[in-house]
Structure 1
Amino acid sequence: MTQRPATPLPPPKERRRLREAASLTQAQLAARLGVSRQTVRAWESGRTAPSGARGEAYGRLLAELAGGAADAVTPVQAAAEGGPVRPVRKERAVAAVVASSRTGDDPIDPADPGDPADPAASSAPPAPSAPGAEPAPSTPGAEPAPSTPGAEPAPSTPGAEPAPSTPGAEPAASTPGAEPAPSALTPAQAFDALYAFCAPALVRQAYLLTGRRELARESVERAFQTAWQRWPEVARDPDPAGWVRAVTYEYALSPWHRFRPRYRHPEPPPAAPADRVLMDVLMDLPPSYRRTLLLHDGVGLGLPETAAETEASTPAAAGRLLHAREAVATRLPELSDPAELHRRLTALASAERLRAPKPPVVRFGSERRARFWTRAAIAFTVALVGATALTLWTAPTRYEPPVPPGEAVRGVPPKSAPGPLSAEEVALRAKLRGETVKGPPRLVPRAE
C-alpha cells in the first residue's frame, strides 16, 4: 500500500504550474530531489504519488515555490474544513477585465455590489463597531449576523473588536485584546459565495469562447452543478475558481453541441460593427487557440498558468498564443498590440447583458440531476439483473444434439409442388409398388 507524505501536496496541475512559475525544468527538479526525470513527470501527471523521504522533500520544495500564497485560506476551504473564516485574497484570474460588467480600461471586480450586471452579488452592511475598533473581515456572499431586537449593546473597550451577535442571546462583554468569535460558513453558503464571485465573469468568458449567449449560460450552470456534486473536492482545491473555469471551458468547447437542434442555427451577432468583426475573427480561430488567447490576453493569466489549464506544454501554449495574435492582427491590424486587444475583449464581453441564474437554482438543479441519474442507474441495473435472471431461468439445462438433415433418395425426383403426376412418375410408382416391400430381394444364382 502506497504511503502518502505527511506534507500535503497540491494537485498534479498545481505542481506543474509551480515548477514552471519558478522557471525549473523537470530535469532540474529531478536533480534537486535525487530522482529521475520520468519520476517527476509521473508525479506531475498524477499517475503515481510520491511517498517516503522523497515525498517529504517534494512537498517542502513545492511549499517553498508556492511562497506565501499557501497561507491564504479562502472561505470555501475554511467552510469545508470547519475552520474560521479569514480575509480572502481575490483571485487574479477571476477578477480580470473580461469578467467585468461595464466597459472601461480599469479592472472591475466581478463581485462588485455596484455592478448592475451582477444580480448574484450581494453586499452586506458592516456591523457597527466600537470607537477605535477595526471592522470585522467581510466574506463575499455572506449575510451579516442579525442582532437581537431590544437587546442592549455590551460595553465596549477601546481597541477591541466586536463579536457577532446571535438572535435570542445576550451580548457578551468584550475584553481588551480579545479576538472576534470565528464564524464558519455552511457548504451552501460557501458555494453561494463562490458562485456570486465567479459566475458573472465566467458567463462573459464563455460568450467570448463560443459566441452563443444561451450556451454560455448553460456552460456556467453545468460547471457549477458539477462543482456542487463534487463539493468536497472543489472546496479543498487551492484554486476553486480555476477548477470551475476549466470545467466551463471544456463544456463550452464540446464538439457535441453542433448536433443539438437548438444550436444548429447561429444567434444574432453583436450590435456594434466593430464587435461583430472581432467576434467573427475569434470564431474563425481553432478552439485551442481561442482558449489560449482568452486566458492569456483576456483573463490575464501568465503563460505557465495558461499552459497548465489548457493541459499543454509552455512552448505549445506560447506557439498557440503567437499564432492566434497573428491571425487577429491580420484581419484587425489595430489589435496587434496586446493591451489594445485586451481592451477590445473587455468591451466585447461587457457589451452583452448576460445574466446567470441564482445560486439556489443552480444547487437545486444539481441535486435534481444527481437524483435523476441515480434513479436511471438503479433502473438500468434492475433491468439488467432481471434480464439475466430470465435468461438463466429459460435456458436449457442439458445438451440437446441438433436433428441431422434428411438424406435424399436416389431415383425419386423431388416433388416441387402438389399436382397431378406425370407419366414417368406414374410408371415409377407402379414399379415401386410391384417390388418386394420388406427386405432386400434375394439373389438367386442362375445357370447359364
Structure 2
Amino acid sequence: MTRSPATPLPPPKARRRLREAAALTQTQLATRVHVTRATIRAWESGRTAPRGRKREAYARLLKTLAEEDAARRTRSTPPPEPAPTPEPKPALEPVSGPASDTASDTVSGPVSGPEKGSEPEPGSGSEPGPEPAPEHPALTPAQAFDALYEFSAPALVRQAYLLTGRRELARESVERAFQTAWERWPEVARDRDPVGWVRATAYEFALSPWQRFRPRHRQPEPPPADPGDRTLLNALLRLRPQHRRTLVLYDGVGLDLPETAAETEASTPAAANRLLHARETVAGRLPALADPRVLHQRLTELASAERLWAAKPTGVRKGGERRTRFRTRAAIAFTVALIGATALTVRTAPTHYEPAVSPGVAVRGVPPRVAPGSLSEAERELRQKLRDRLQDGPERLEPRLE
C-alpha cells in the first residue's frame, strides 16, 4: 500500500543548503513556518517529512529561498567575455612533386563518403550505421523498491551491526526502515539519496532506547570469534550512541562532515567534536587504530567478518503491507468500538440527577426524650412571685438643681 504523492520538496540536504545560503538559523526558519526548531531539524535530516498545510508552507518558503539563491548567484557571476573571433587559417597548397597528388587528397581534398546525417543512396553498397539501442522500460514501484533493497540492504545490515553489536536487531532495523520507505515510496523515490533516507531511518530504529525493554534483545548474543574484532566491537559499544553513529558514518561509510552532521541532526562543529572524541576513545583502548585509514579498514573488516544476511525484498515489502493492513484494521476497530461505547453511554445515561435514598438504620445508645411533668407547690409559688414582681425595675435617677 502506497500513499498518494504530496507537494514535492527538495532533498533534505538541499533544504539545509538553501537555509544556510540564506543565512537563516533553524529557529528563524521555524518561526516563519510556525513550527518548532526540533521539527525543522527533523525535516532537514530526512527523519520526518512535513504534511498538510505545513508541507505546503515549507515548500513555498524553500522555493522562495531557491529563487533568492539563484538571483544572488546570477548577480555574483561576471558576464561572460566575448569569444575571440577565430582567424581564418591559410589553405594548404599542394606541394609540387611526386607526392603532390597524395598530399592534396589527404589534407585539403574533400573527404569521401556520405556526410553526417545523410542517408546512403540505394544501391551504393554502403552499410547502414548501427541502430540506436532500445530504451529500457520504466520500472514499476515494486521493481524499483526491490532494486534499491538488493543494492543497499546488505551494507546497511553490516553498518547497523556496528551500531548495536546484535545481528538480529541489525537485520530487523533495516527491514523496518525499508518497510517505512515502501509506505512513503513516492517521497523516497524522488529523493536525491534514497539510500541515505533508508540509512537514517534504520539508524534511528537501531539506536532507539526502547530496544532495551524488549525481551528478545535482553539476552546477550555470542561475540565475534576473533579477539581483535571482539575488542573493537566492545570499544564501539562503550561510546555514546551519537558518537558511535558519527564515527560509523564518517570513518565507516565514508560520508563527509556536512553530510554526517545533517544525518545526525547536529551542527558541523558538533559533529566534528563528536568524531574527535570517538576517535580518541577508540585510540585510547586500541592505540593501533589512531590512524583514520587503519580505523576505516578495521571497521570494514569487522562488519564483513560476521555472517549477516538480509531477507528477500519481496518478503520485506509484503511484510510491511501486512503490518500496514493490520494497523489500519486495528485503528478502524478501535474507532468503531469507541463510537459504539459512546453511543451506548449516551443512550443509557440518565438525563437528570436522582439522589439515592439511604436505608433506615436503628440508632442505639441515645436516652429517650422525657416530657415535662406537673409543677410542685414550691414551683407554683415561685412562678406567682415572679409574675407579681414589678417588671419596670428601679426608678430612674434624674439630675436636679438645688
Flag whether TM exceeds 0.5 (same fold): yes
Aligned to 2:28: 38
Aligned to 1:272: 226
Q: Deviations over 1:80-126 (max 9, x none)?
A: xxxxxxxxxxxxxxxxxxxxxxxxxxxxxxxxxxxxxxxxxxxxxxx
**CA pair 364-308 structure 1, distance change in 2 beyond 3 A:** same
Matching of residue 200 in structure 1 with residue 193 in structure 2? no
Q: Deviation of residue 218 (structure 1)?
A: 0.6
TM-score, structure 2 as length reference = 0.66
Letter in 2 for 1:207: Y
Alignment counterpart, residue 387 of structure 1, candidates 341, 348, 364? 341
Matching of residue 333 in structure 1 with residue 287 in structure 2? yes
Q: For 2:373 and 2:266, locate their aligned partners in 1 and report how far apart those are by CA, in whole Å.
A: 95
Q: For 2:334 and 2:58, locate their aligned partners in 1 and report how far apart those are by CA, in whole Å.
A: 39
**CA pair 268-240 structure 1, distance change in 2 beyond 3 A:** same
Aligned to 1:14: 14
Matching of residue 306 in structure 1 with residue 266 in structure 2? no
Q: Deviation of residue 60 (structure 1)?
A: 3.9
Q: Deviations over 1:213-254 (max 9, x none)?
A: 111111111111111111111111221111100110011111
Q: Select the structure that is richer in helix.
A: 2
Q: Deviations over 1:188-214 (max 9, x none)?
A: 000001101110110000011100011
Aligned to 1:281: 235
**CA pair 254-55 structure 1, distance change in 2 beyond 3 A:** closer
Letter in 1 for 2:272: A
Aligned to 1:161: 132
Letter in 2 for 1:158: G
Q: For 2:232 and 2:255, locate their aligned partners in 1 and report how far apart those are by CA, in whole Å.
A: 21
Letter in 2 for 1:357: A
Alignment counterpart, residue 215 of structure 1, candidates 169, 172, 175? 169
In the alignment, is the contact (CA less than 8 A) between 1:209 and 1:252 conserved in 2? yes
Q: For 2:29 and 2:311, locate their aligned partners in 1 and report how far apart those are by CA, in whole Å.
A: 45
**CA pair 64-192 structure 1, distance change in 2 beyond 3 A:** farther
Letter in 2 for 1:349: A
Matching of residue 225 in structure 1 with residue 199 in structure 2? no
TM-score, structure 1 as length reference = 0.60
Aligned to 1:259: 213
**CA pair 41-343 structure 1, distance change in 2 beyond 3 A:** farther
Aligned to 2:65: 58
Structure 1 residues 393-408: aligned runs within 5 Å? 393-403=347-357
Letter in 1 for 2:333: A
Alignment counterpart, residue 270 of structure 2, candidates 303, 316, 326? 316
Q: For 2:158 and 2:269, locate their aligned partners in 1 and report how far apart those are by CA, in whole Å.
A: 28
Q: Deviation of residue 158 (structure 1)?
A: 2.2
Greater alpha carbon shift after TM alignment, 54-63 vs 206-215: 54-63
Q: For 1:13 and 1:41, locate their aligned partners in 2 and report how far apart those are by CA, in whole Å.
A: 20
Q: Deviations over 1:248-287 (max 9, x none)?
A: 0011111111111111111111111110100000010011
Alignment counterpart, residue 241 of structure 1, candidates 179, 189, 195? 195
In the alignment, is the contact (CA less than 8 A) between 1:206 and 1:219 conserved in 2? yes
SS of the residue 2:156 aligns to: helix
Q: For 2:267 and 2:26, locate their aligned partners in 1 and report how far apart those are by CA, in whole Å.
A: 19
In the alignment, is the contact (CA less than 8 A) between 1:30 and 1:40 conserved in 2? no
**CA pair 353-37 structure 1, distance change in 2 beyond 3 A:** closer
Q: For 2:240 and 2:286, locate their aligned partners in 1 and report how far apart those are by CA, in whole Å.
A: 17
Q: Deviation of residue 161 (structure 1)?
A: 2.1
Q: For 2:177 and 2:29, locate their aligned partners in 1 and report how far apart those are by CA, in whole Å.
A: 33
- Report the RMSD for the aligned CA atoms in angstroms: 3.4
Aligned to 1:342: 296
How many pairs align?
302
Of structures 1 and 2, the larger Rg is shown by: 2
Q: Deviation of residue 404 (structure 1)?
A: 7.5
Q: Deviation of residue 36 (structure 1)?
A: 11
SS of the residue 1:385 aligns to: helix
Letter in 2 for 1:413: G
Q: Deviation of residue 399 (structure 1)?
A: 2.3
Alignment counterpart, residue 365 of structure 2, candidates 413, 424, 435? 413
Q: Deviation of residue 344 (structure 1)?
A: 0.3
Q: For 1:162 and 1:343, locate their aligned partners in 2 and report how far apart those are by CA, in whole Å.
A: 41
In the alignment, is the contact (CA less than 8 A) between 2:247 and 2:278 conserved in 1? yes
Q: Deviations over 1:135-178 (max 9, x none)?
A: xxxxxxxxxxxxxxxxxxxxx94232232xxxxxxxxxxxxxxx
Q: Deviations over 1:376-422 (max 9, x none)?
A: 1111111111211121122112222354798997xx516xxxxxxxx
In the alignment, is the contact (CA less than 8 A) between 1:210 and 1:253 conserved in 2? yes
Q: Deviation of residue 59 (structure 1)?
A: 1.6
Q: Deviations over 1:45-90 (max 9, x none)?
A: 55874687x7555224667999xxxxxxxxxxxxxxxxxxxxxxxx
Q: Deviation of residue 355 (structure 1)?
A: 1.1
Q: For 2:8 and 2:70, locate their aligned partners in 1 and report how far apart those are by CA, in whole Å.
A: 9
Q: For 1:275 and 1:443, locate their aligned partners in 2 and report how far apart those are by CA, in whole Å.
A: 113
Q: Deviations over 1:312-334 (max 9, x none)?
A: 11111111101000000001111
Q: For 1:353 and 1:256, locate their aligned partners in 2 and report how far apart those are by CA, in whole Å.
A: 26
SS of the residue 2:132 aligns to: coil
Aligned to 1:91: none
Percent identity, aligned pairs only? 64
**CA pair 248-37 structure 1, distance change in 2 beyond 3 A:** closer
Aligned to 1:372: 326
**CA pair 293-14 structure 1, distance change in 2 beyond 3 A:** same
In the alignment, is the contact (CA less than 8 A) between 2:8 and 2:59 conserved in 1? no
Q: For 1:202 and 1:366, locate their aligned partners in 2 and report how far apart those are by CA, in whole Å.
A: 18
